[in-house]
Amino acid sequence: MGFIPLQYCRFDCKGLRRLWGLPYRTHSVLLAPLCGMLPLESELMCRSSTFMCKCLGSCNEVVSFVARNGIFVQRMTSPIRRNAQWCCDSVGVSLYNIHSISRDLAMHCVYSYLPN
């Protein structure tokens, strides 16, 4: 999956602005706390990391081996490794702590940029 094209995040923000009648200059970072949701990019990051953690902990040996090999051995030649690295870099955790990525952590990272 890799990086999410910014055009999808823009469409999501445009729809919310139009629905609520907000000015087009409203910053997209402000929309997440207003609707109580994560921005699209953060939501997809949480879902991707959850999927990778489930693959790593799978009782199916083939699934677990392929996920472990792709994330920890293949380095940046594997799409799952690049996606895992992007998820971890987005919230500031180590690749070996990918299981700690949650919606709460993502919300904290998103909301930490807003002034009190």
pLDDT in tens, 78-110: 999 999 999 999 899 999 999 999 989 988 887
Whether the pLDDT of residue 17 is over 50: the answer is: yes
How deeply is 108 buried, as exposed, middle or buried, from its count of CB atoms within 10 A (0-12, 13-18, 19+)?
exposed
